[in-house]
Structure 1
Amino acid sequence: MTPSPAPSPRPSVPLPGSFRDALPADAASAPLGAGEQVDFSVLLRRRAPLPRDLAHGPGTITRDELADRFGADPADLAAVRHAVEAAGLTVADVHAGSRRMTVAGPAGAAGALLGTRLLAARGTGRDGRALAHRARTGGLHVPPELADVVVAVLGTDDRPHGRPLLSRPLLGTPGKNGPAHGGGAGPVAYTPLQLAEVYGFPPDTDGSGRIAALVEFGGGYEEAELRAYFTGLGVTPPVVRSVDVAGAANNPGVDEDADGEVQLDIEVLGALAPGAELVVHFAPGTIRGYVEAVTSAVHASPTPTVLSISWGAPEDHWTPQSLAALEEVLADAAALGITVCAAAGDVGSTDGEKGGGRHVDYPGSSPHVLSVGGTSLRLADDGGSRAGRTPGAGAGKAQGAGAGSGRTAVETVWNALALGSGATGGGRSAAFPVPLWQRRYQPAGQRQPGRGQGPAERRGVPDVAAVADPSTGYRIRVGGKDTTLGGTSAAAPLWAALVCRLSEALDAPLGLLAPLLYALEAPPAPLTDITSGDNGGYPAAVGWDACTGLGTPRGAALLAHLRASRTTR
């Protein structure tokens, strides 16, 4: 194999935010052969800036309008194509609406164009298995004429990225094996239908006519298993179809955790909104894969009502250019009226980062998503403890057979860090300033130290919450058997299902939902404020907090408030 030559000294300028750290010490690497075929994605600038009312609501436009007004400029596409072809590479695909261009060709030519040396590396994948991948270190460069045209170049380095945000109970079968961390009671599990009753999902809705998109980065599902699960609940199985992105596909039976994530997402969302069509976009577990999966979902035809994301990584695991690229797509989602529900993380206020400190998970920290944190949920006899709920703020009885007559849902912040079983993510973003709609919720105790900005200047995470504790978890089916799973990756599709049902009832998309929730005040409260517990770095508090946000849903009350807010605009 002929090693790739050093990049040619042609004129170039640095591509901001493209720096990649060196590979881990235990990862073997060697120069990629000059003739080895590679491909990568180029994201171009918009032809005009996206107006604030589209990027942050409440304005929306159609997919065609977005492409015509804010897609890639034909002159920019032509300039990139010229540079690519002059370098001996080929433009394999162009999507002007999402401003993406796929480039393919020899590794040596790609390295020369981008001012880098591509490596063949071997490391460890998320499942612990050996994994061959491409890599590079340092920053990328582009020709001077493209300095203001190119936003990001993704895929020259495809090392593993991100993780499924699901958690498994440590204490065995629900109802057995001793005390749980929640105060002496044993582990329990709820079906999604029971949780619909607990959270008061609006009756006479099932998500009909809505499209719910999901993105997955490994694993898969068996259609027969999904049918068995939904039929066992007495639910008509929803329509579920998969979309292959960047060479990935529905692939069950290889990665147990990834299968658990995929089926948890589908089963929770499908059981709670069985009338909706579920479209699952499978992509590689790389930074490029994340961006392309979300792009595939957001720019799909027809446009989805909601997108649920249950995978993530700490903010500082994303390069600035990759974070900027995904933010561009999430802004497109807001402009198209798509509600994006993203898990806030399962490792407490550190987000699992070595050395501690306070960190939040992305894309759950994006200002363009509804960030979903987690609680621990117990059903207590009426008259029992109601710790965790603010009096008068929606601590009413959970209704219906699932909750049990005369029983009250008692929720606290999910935190089992002492047992090694996780906790809800939450905190202050290091990457994003506080959105306008969140500025009124700035408790003095919720500061993010050492970031150079005060507490009123950073995005707070999460916005809302739902049950996520695996010891009070979700009863689902994976690998031919019933099991219990939790994590904020279960809470996110629960909220996505609620969005489908609210959208059906209102006969309109909800778009960026967070600003609407932060604006709601009058009783009966559409959210239950969780005021007991912490996530290791932040305490629960009256009002918004960096554990459970504004609280957990009261679906019918939320529908009434949204309906009223629409009539007063």
Structure 2
Amino acid sequence: MPCLQTLRINDIRTVTKTLNSVEFSLLILGSPIYSYWLKKSVLPLPHRPSRSASCRSGRIHAANASSSPQRRNSSMAKAFAVKLLVAAMAVAASSGAMAAGAQDLGKVEQAAPSQKLTVTVALHLRDRDAATRYLQEAHSPSSPNYHKFLSSAEFRARFAPSDATVARVSARLQAAGLGVKRIGSSLLQVSGPAASVQKAFGAEVHIFQNKAAAPGSAARYIAPVRASAPTVDMSDVQAVIGFDSRPHFRPHLRQLPSHLQPAVGKTSGSVTGGNAPGQWTVTDLARYYDITPLYNKGIHGQGSTIGIVTLASFTPSDAFQYWNQIGLKTDLNRLSVIDIDGGPGAPSDDGGSDETTLDVEQSGGIAPDAKIIVYQAPNTTQGFVDAFAQAIESNTADTLSVSWGEWEWFDQQSQAANPVNGQTTNVLQAYHDLFLQAALQGQTMFAAAGDAGAYDVNRAAPLPQYSKVLSVDSPANQQFITAAGATTVPATLTFHPNGQAMQVKIPQERAWGWDYLNGLCQALGKDPVACGTFPVGGGGGVSGFINRPFYQYWVPGMQNTPAGQQLVDNSQTPPQVIASVPANFKGRNVPDISMNGDPETGYVVYYTSSKTGFSVMSNNGGTSFVAPQLAGITALLNQSMGGRLGLLNFSLYSLLATGHAYHGHGHHGAPLRDITAGGNWGYDSHRGYDQATGVGAPDVANLDAALHRYFWF
């Protein structure tokens, strides 16, 4: 059973011992994630207790906080060394890039003498508690600061690291021979000769050549192999991101395998509205979720800008062809693309270009008059963070959507972080600060919650080699983003297992989980794992690392993390525990809201494949569709309200808490549809909030009316 405890690093030999025994769970170091109710709360430390260890509180206390500066600096250096090594291993686990065929070419400066290194350095916000308090005021109708969102300049002046702090850190780094550029309110881009960068941050980085690279992975990449004490004072720094260039984030798009393909008419080279589930366009979605009344009032997203944060490039003409084919008249200049960190390269099937394509088609199709900006970056943690930073710091997009992610534990470990006051912090805190800034600016963010049901990690670590673990996806686990879940809409599906017709009837909208296909799998002579149906479904569950946000604190239906959740590699003898999730942690519950995302009842995508050329693909699904669809809906609501919504979760949970979520007023019906059927393999849908569908699905016209009545005066 995991236990919440402070890990004190007393000897650097811990690193060697831990690496040899592959006991990753001993090295999960927490970072502060501030919430409204727990002002100094921090991420918990899952820890395998030894005979002398005992469970303490859920807080992580600064190790050696009262010790001498010399002892504290020594502890910090050791902790940094541990963190750096674990980071390399964790990214390898999440990406599968550390294959047996990977050849270590040696230090960067030796293998590629002219290569420079560029990293992103995250600094502490000035006052997170004050920022969080203002966020609540900006979303509380009774507050004089209600909807007084900040500009990026105002955020920087009030809550970002001071100019003096930035100058102090920059001077230290420049003295080490490095170039420094401020790329966000709390982010610096630091570059220089490979040897100088490694020395400054205490990282030894090698180049690897992967001769047996899997599709979507890197044939050549850099990764840290060992760490030492940084030579630059890191007291103002909370994270350093960019010592690993392996792709490891996954798009949350699902396509049907052939044996699960229902017998429906194949799509032709064109599609229109009025299609059967599985061949839906945004026109069908608009009818089902009651968006059409907004169109009838002339609301099409005018004046709004949608931002797509993605890790793959795409072919823009696909989106215009999709919109034109379904009868939408769009501005040819509505779409712009911004490459971050050099961009992700040419469109590629293996790289996830279909994900970016559908993000643009869906969001722009729902809000045909909205502008769209695509922020596309390399598939690395640094690329992801830098793309968010650009989208948020520029503050041009009113709503942002992201459909990429990974199990939150991988994100917890994915980058080396610098020691601060005896603790270490990581990329989760960088996300937290960026998304807090977005919410304070009124930007509404959506993240796909994942497509592996309640077992997010088991998409990257499948059964039976690995144990099943109730787990959630990052960045959908963050407090200041709306997590998009998925449902299955009513349909009658016909299959032909072994040549015999079989019908599967879905009488009502239900949580997406492919357990309703168990009968089909039995007819095929397969169990759910072999059949490919487990654990497929809408992502949902409880975070083991992000505290429950204040808007969820007293919501009925909230759960804590269950006990006994360990990721075990069963292929080892004896089986090896890779990671543990803390038990009974009061974490962030996801998703927040859901819509149709099941490929069986899903959508068509216009897509130019890098392998086969242009095609119209049917039966696509995943929470990847729901996040951009919600961004498009938000663009409509922004126009209707005459301004930005801000963090949508405040409105959703306020409607739930006040009893208005599932009840109409006057001639308007309920703004939310309570989904009470189905489940996502780990959690069942029921009345009210649940971890399979969140608060349910929107009735957009009624939601618009409810927002006007209860939140706009």
Band the TM-score falls in, shorter-chain normalisation = 0.7 to 0.9
Q: Which structure 2 residues correspond to residues 29-40 of structure 1 after superposition, within 5 A?
A: 29=104, 30-33=106-109, 35=113, 36-40=115-119
Indicate if the aligned counterparts of 2:401 and 2:631 stay in contact, CA closer than 8 A. Answer: yes
SS in 2 for 1:281: strand
Against the structure 1 CA distance between its residues 197 and 276, is the aligned structure 2 distance closer, same or farther, given a 3 Å change threshold? same
Shift of 1:236: 1.3
Structure with bigger gyration radius? 2
* Equivalent residue number for residue 259 of structure 1: 353
Aligned-partner Cα distance in 2 for 1:144–1:32: 20
Indicate if the aligned counterparts of 1:55 and 1:332 stay in contact, CA closer than 8 A. Answer: no
* Equivalent residue number for residue 386 of structure 1: none
Are 2:184 and 1:80 aligned?
Answer: no
Amino acid corresponding to residue 31 of structure 1 in structure 2 = K
Indicate if the aligned counterparts of 1:198 and 1:409 stay in contact, CA closer than 8 A. Answer: no
Aligned-partner Cα distance in 2 for 1:453–1:500: 39
Shift of 1:475: 1.6
Indicate if the aligned counterparts of 2:199 and 2:231 stay in contact, CA closer than 8 A. Answer: no
Are 2:283 and 1:193 aligned?
Answer: yes
Aligned-partner Cα distance in 2 for 1:502–1:142: 49
Are 2:341 and 1:274 aligned?
Answer: no
* Equivalent residue number for residue 390 of structure 1: none
* Equivalent residue number for residue 369 of structure 1: 481
Against the structure 1 CA distance between its residues 131 and 197, is the aligned structure 2 distance closer, same or farther, given a 3 Å change threshold? same
Instruction: Percent identity, please.
Output: 29
Unaligned runs of 5+ in 2: 1-72, 93-97, 140-145, 267-275, 414-424, 462-466, 493-505, 516-527, 565-580, 609-613, 665-669
Are 2:575 and 1:458 aligned?
Answer: no
Which of 504, 507, 512 does residue 414 from structure 1 map onto? 512
Aligned-partner Cα distance in 2 for 1:73–1:126: 44
Are 2:309 and 1:215 aligned?
Answer: yes
Are 2:470 and 1:336 aligned?
Answer: no
Indicate if the aligned counterparts of 1:219 and 1:255 stay in contact, CA closer than 8 A. Answer: no
Which of 634, 659, 662 does residue 499 from structure 1 map onto? 634
Against the structure 1 CA distance between its residues 475 and 55, is the aligned structure 2 distance closer, same or farther, given a 3 Å change threshold? same
Are 2:342 and 1:247 aligned?
Answer: yes
Are 2:701 and 1:556 aligned?
Answer: yes
Indicate if the aligned counterparts of 1:432 and 1:459 stay in contact, CA closer than 8 A. Answer: yes
Aligned-partner Cα distance in 2 for 1:188–1:537: 25
* Equivalent residue number for residue 321 of structure 2: 228
SS in 2 for 1:33: helix
Against the structure 1 CA distance between its residues 138 and 515, is the aligned structure 2 distance closer, same or farther, given a 3 Å change threshold? farther
Aligned-partner Cα distance in 2 for 1:156–1:129: 16
Shift of 1:339: 0.5
Aligned-partner Cα distance in 1 for 2:222–2:350: 25
Aligned-partner Cα distance in 1 for 2:539–2:594: 10
Which of 537, 544, 553 does residue 430 from structure 1 map onto? 544
Aligned-partner Cα distance in 1 for 2:88–2:218: 20
Against the structure 1 CA distance between its residues 72 and 241, is the aligned structure 2 distance closer, same or farther, given a 3 Å change threshold? same
Are 2:404 and 1:305 aligned?
Answer: no
Amino acid corresponding to residue 215 of structure 1 in structure 2 = V
Shift of 1:219: 3.1
* Structure 1 length-normalised TM: 0.85
SS in 2 for 1:189: coil
Aligned-partner Cα distance in 2 for 1:125–1:151: 33
Amino acid corresponding to residue 173 of structure 2 in structure 1 = V
Which of 117, 132, 142 does residue 52 from structure 1 map onto? 132
Number of paired residues?
Answer: 517
Against the structure 1 CA distance between its residues 409 and 75, is the aligned structure 2 distance closer, same or farther, given a 3 Å change threshold? farther
Amino acid corresponding to residue 108 of structure 2 in structure 1 = L
Indicate if the aligned counterparts of 2:305 and 2:372 stay in contact, CA closer than 8 A. Answer: yes
SS in 2 for 1:334: helix
Amino acid corresponding to residue 341 of structure 2 in structure 1 = A
Aligned-partner Cα distance in 2 for 1:125–1:544: 42
Deviation per CA, 1:501-530: give whole Å up to 9, x if none.
Answer: 111100010111112101112212211111
Are 2:221 and 1:133 aligned?
Answer: yes
Indicate if the aligned counterparts of 2:222 and 2:245 stay in contact, CA closer than 8 A. Answer: yes
Against the structure 1 CA distance between its residues 126 and 260, is the aligned structure 2 distance closer, same or farther, given a 3 Å change threshold? farther
Deviation per CA, 1:107-149: give whole Å up to 9, x if none.
Answer: 11111111121110234767255521110145675457432x1
Aligned-partner Cα distance in 2 for 1:257–1:146: 35
Q: Which structure 2 residues correspond to residues 390-401 of structure 1 after superposition, within 5 A?
A: none
Deviation per CA, 1:277-336: give whole Å up to 9, x if none.
Answer: 0000010100111111111111125x3210001111000111351111111111110010
Amino acid corresponding to residue 511 of structure 2 in structure 1 = V
Amino acid corresponding to residue 327 of structure 2 in structure 1 = G
Unaligned runs of 5+ in 1: 1-10, 178-185, 381-407
Indicate if the aligned counterparts of 1:44 and 1:100 stay in contact, CA closer than 8 A. Answer: yes
Shift of 1:255: 2.5
Amino acid corresponding to residue 326 of structure 2 in structure 1 = L
Indicate if the aligned counterparts of 2:542 and 2:559 stay in contact, CA closer than 8 A. Answer: no
* Equivalent residue number for residue 378 of structure 2: 284
SS in 2 for 1:312: strand
Are 2:121 and 1:42 aligned?
Answer: yes
Aligned-partner Cα distance in 1 for 2:239–2:470: 28
Amino acid corresponding to residue 599 of structure 2 in structure 1 = P
SS in 2 for 1:304: coil
Shift of 1:409: 8.4
Which of 674, 677, 693 does residue 532 from structure 1 map onto? 677
Against the structure 1 CA distance between its residues 136 and 349, is the aligned structure 2 distance closer, same or farther, given a 3 Å change threshold? same
Shift of 1:446: 6.6
Which of 339, 360, 370 does residue 472 from structure 2 map onto? 360
* Equivalent residue number for residue 183 of structure 1: none
Indicate if the aligned counterparts of 2:251 and 2:624 stay in contact, CA closer than 8 A. Answer: yes
SS in 1 for 2:680: coil
Against the structure 1 CA distance between its residues 53 and 509, is the aligned structure 2 distance closer, same or farther, given a 3 Å change threshold? farther
Are 2:596 and 1:467 aligned?
Answer: yes
Amino acid corresponding to residue 61 of structure 1 in structure 2 = L
Amino acid corresponding to residue 432 of structure 1 in structure 2 = I
Are 2:115 and 1:20 aligned?
Answer: no
Aligned-partner Cα distance in 2 for 1:352–1:275: 38
Amino acid corresponding to residue 375 of structure 2 in structure 1 = H
Shift of 1:531: 1.0
SS in 1 for 2:644: coil
State the superposition RMSD in angstroms: 2.6
The worse-fitting range, judged by mean Cα deviation, of 30-39 and 554-563 is: 30-39
SS in 2 for 1:545: coil
Which of 494, 504, 514 does residue 649 from structure 2 map onto? 514
Aligned-partner Cα distance in 2 for 1:508–1:151: 34
Aligned-partner Cα distance in 2 for 1:113–1:55: 36
Shift of 1:256: 5.0
Aligned-partner Cα distance in 2 for 1:466–1:427: 17
* Equivalent residue number for residue 150 of structure 1: 237
* Equivalent residue number for residue 159 of structure 2: 70
SS in 1 for 2:624: helix
Shift of 1:231: 0.8
Against the structure 1 CA distance between its residues 431 and 445, is the aligned structure 2 distance closer, same or farther, given a 3 Å change threshold? closer
Indicate if the aligned counterparts of 2:121 and 2:240 stay in contact, CA closer than 8 A. Answer: yes
Indicate if the aligned counterparts of 1:67 and 1:98 stay in contact, CA closer than 8 A. Answer: yes
Amino acid corresponding to residue 435 of structure 1 in structure 2 = P
Indicate if the aligned counterparts of 1:40 and 1:153 stay in contact, CA closer than 8 A. Answer: yes
